[in-house]
Amino acid sequence: MKKFAAIFLALILVLSLGACGTTPETSEPSESGVPESSVAEQPESGNPVVKIGIFEPASGDNGAGGKQETLGIEYANSVSPTVDINGTTYDVELVKVDNESSNDKAATAASTLVSAGVSVVLGSYGSGVSIAASPTFEAAGIPCIGITCTNPQVTEGNKHYFRICFLDPFQGTVLANYAFSSLNVKTAYCLSKLGDDYSGGLVKYFVEAFEALGGTCVQDTFPDGNSDFTSYINNAKNGGCEVFFSPVSTEAAQLIIDQAEAQSLGMPILAGDTWDSNVILQAAKGKNVDVTVTTFYPEGANAEFDAGFKTWVNADATLLANNGGDDTVAAVTAMGYDAYFFALAAMQKAGSIEPAAIMEALWSTTYDGVSGPIALDQTNGDAIRNTAYVKHCNTETGAWDALPAVTIG
């Protein structure tokens, strides 16, 4: 019995020592503020690792768009999972967080990426969460590349947030010109979500441009959590409006489409890049609605990219579900793909995976992407882009019909 007890105690001691050996060590910050252990870890390949943060919504109002933008980044990583920097090959590890489409939760999600020791951050789909998380990334000295966050405030007044898409002053002007000249309407109903930086900002720029052309705007807002758009649709009809402009989330857009048909809206619906989604196509198919959107990339513009993405996404049921259930190529997916390679190009230009070096290199980094050439201005680090693509929803086929692209300047 004593012998058994001795063996039992010895076994407990061995297990206790083993358990102590598996406890992860807390990473000490380097001079750059990034945890040392996350800068160049050694994976099974034997290569050092560089981490890229994905700051995107996988839930909430913008979850559908965030998933499609993330897919573009993940597909790019599958195409090029390594990057060569000054003769050293690094494995690229993607670190994802869900910012839940919430400005209130953005800083916490951003802090998770900071703690993970990422060298650069990509995202977010949604300007509001990007603006809300910006101070956290700035304090950590980590550069961010906005993919499709179009509100000017994302990059204004800071030196760490960059962007590869066009901005809302440009997009608002394109939409206003399309409404006034192509649709030949003179009174527009403009609906945005109360407190939402993206929809409120884009409506503001649309109104400025539309009224400068001689048009009249009726403006309205709806509160967070609203699901009944009947009164807003009636306001548009009773106000003598000729076009319904509402650049809101895909979640709200589906409700607007359903209720627009139920209430016989009877006027074209115009929206920005958030509506460029197969979620919208599915909602509008078979309905008596007329939907036109502006966006960053039209499917078919790069056959090699489109075919590769379709093959990749169709090979995995989870990926296909994250793309809305089919293999439509969303513009945000193409932009996510380009953002990944733009980040790699910045690392190579910097000759380093240190965030400070990448931040400095981003100002002069250029890249020829599937969405077009990418170069940044020297004021705010915004992409130099002057073309928007216009798409019309074909409610019979459930696909986008491409309209002539619009270039200004």
Instruction: Report the chain's mean pLDDT, rounded to a whole number.
Output: 91
Evaluate if residue 378 carries a pLDDT over 50. Answer: yes
Which pLDDT belongs to residue 246?
98
pTM: 0.88
Domains identified in the chain and CATH numbers: 36-166+302-376 (3.40.50.2300), 169-295+389-407 (3.40.50.2300)
- Count of other CB atoms within 10 angstroms of residue 291: 25
Grouping H, G, I as helix, E, B as strand and the rest as coil, residue 105 is helix
More confident residue, 335 or 24: 335
- Count of other CB atoms within 10 angstroms of residue 212: 11
Report d(CA 277, CA 298) in Å as an integer. 11
Nearest 5°: the CA angle 97, 103, 104 is 90
Evaluate if residue 14 carries a pLDDT over 70. Answer: no
Query: 43 falls in which pLDDT band (50, 70, 90)?
Result: low
Find all residues with CB under 8 Å of 184, minimum gap 6, and list them.
none
pLDDT digits (tens, 9 = 90+) for 159-215: 999 999 999 999 999 999 999 999 999 999 999 999 999 999 999 999 999 999 999
Which pLDDT belongs to residue 45?
80
Which pair of structure tokens corresponds to residue 49? 């690792």
How many C-alpha atoms does 341 have within 13 Å on its Cβ side?
A: 21
Which pLDDT belongs to residue 32?
33
What's the chain's length in residues?
409
Query: 44 falls in which pLDDT band (50, 70, 90)?
Result: confident
Report d(CA 242, CA 238) in Å as an integer. 11
Grouping H, G, I as helix, E, B as strand and the rest as coil, residue 20 is helix
Query: 42 falls in which pLDDT band (50, 70, 90)?
Result: low
Least confident of 6-10, 114-118, 220-224, 231-235: 6-10
Strands (E), 114-223: 120-122, 144-146, 161-163, 187-193, 216-222
Which pLDDT belongs to residue 13?
34
pLDDT digits (tens, 9 = 90+) for 305-352: 999 999 999 999 999 999 999 999 999 999 999 999 999 999 999 999
Which pLDDT belongs to residue 40?
52
- Count of other CB atoms within 10 angstroms of residue 15: 10
Query: 22 falls in which pLDDT band (50, 70, 90)?
Result: very low
Evaluate if residue 297 carries a pLDDT over 70. Answer: yes
pLDDT digits (tens, 9 = 90+) for 119-150: 999 999 999 999 999 999 999 999 999 999 99
